[in-house]
Amino acid sequence: MQHRFQRTGLAPDGFLVDSVQFADESVQILLRSRSPSGLCPSCGRSSRRVQSRYLRRPADLPLCGRRVELTIVARRFWCDAVLCGRRIFCEQFNDGVLARYGRRTQRLETIVHHLGLALGGRPAAAFAERLMVPVSNDTLLRVVRRRTADQNDELTVIGIDDFAFRRGQTYGTIICDLKRRRPVTLLPDRALDTSRAWLAGHQSISIVARDRGGGYGEAIAKALPDAEQVADRWHLMENSSRAFLDAVGKSMRQIRQAVGSNVVDPKLLTYAERLQYE
């Protein structure tokens, strides 16, 4: 069964397609809102009286290897409410489709956000250019920061560890949201009082993953006495591997005597293993 292509499928929700023009590297789509009226942002009253029109040109998802440029005919309405202080207001669209002052549709913004999270700035910008999504590395990082700042849900599971501002000299503390897999904040040092003060302001935290050092454990116990402390996966494997290698290193003489020198071919060993074996 054959299906005819409907150009209305090119438009985001709530819009009608007036025209579509194909160029060598782009598709230009002229849109207008389906709604016959607008809501005043001050008083909430609906109005159909159009004062003027203006154009918005956000970018949208690419189509057939071409970038898509939307031209939206937006309207300005008169507000007829007597007690409203606003006389003229601009037409606003659903934030899930096109945000106020947005230069990209939300579905394209989501792609840009995921590219920035996965690849960072410059690599994501180079890859986005191949996808016909023209964004700069600064824009990618700005979108990631803005969306991260918009997520204000309470923290429940975090990871805490130290990191080096300057190796061997200056250290700070990094705290990550393990549910969303993103950094939350950077503390200027790894002092107990600094960590305890930050943790005390987030009583919703129920689980804290940390290394096996005692510094952070003491801060967590004082600031979040009901929180469960667990060893994170990296430190667990690192400490287990180190303990195993230490145990093997201390028993190498007994291992060589038990195995016998004629069992292991030295040619199969690495240089470091050969030094230990000999």
Fold of 157-231: Nucleotidyltransferase; domain 5 (3.30.420)
Dihedral over alpha carbons 218, 221, 223, 225 (to 10 degrees): -170
Quote the pLDDT of residue 144.
85
The DSSP code for 249 is H
What pTM was estimated for this model as a whole? 0.55
What is d(CA 92, CA 220) in angstroms, rounded to the nearest whole number?
46
Residues 6+ apart with CB under 8 A from 218: 192
What is d(CA 62, CA 68) in angstroms, rounded to the nearest whole number?
5
> What do you get for the CA distance between the two ends of the chain, in Å?
76
Quote the pLDDT of residue 214.
67
What is d(CA 114, CA 61) in angstroms, rounded to the nearest whole number?
14
Quote the pLDDT of residue 248.
86
Placement of tokens 């429940």 in the chain: 156
The DSSP code for 4 is P
47 neighbors 38 (Cβ within 8 angstroms): yes
What is d(CA 116, CA 146) in angstroms, rounded to the nearest whole number?
12
Spans of the chain below 50 pLDDT: 1
192 neighbors 218 (Cβ within 8 angstroms): yes
What is d(CA 153, CA 155) in angstroms, rounded to the nearest whole number?
7
Quote the pLDDT of residue 263.
62
Quote the pLDDT of residue 1.
45
Quote the pLDDT of residue 158.
92
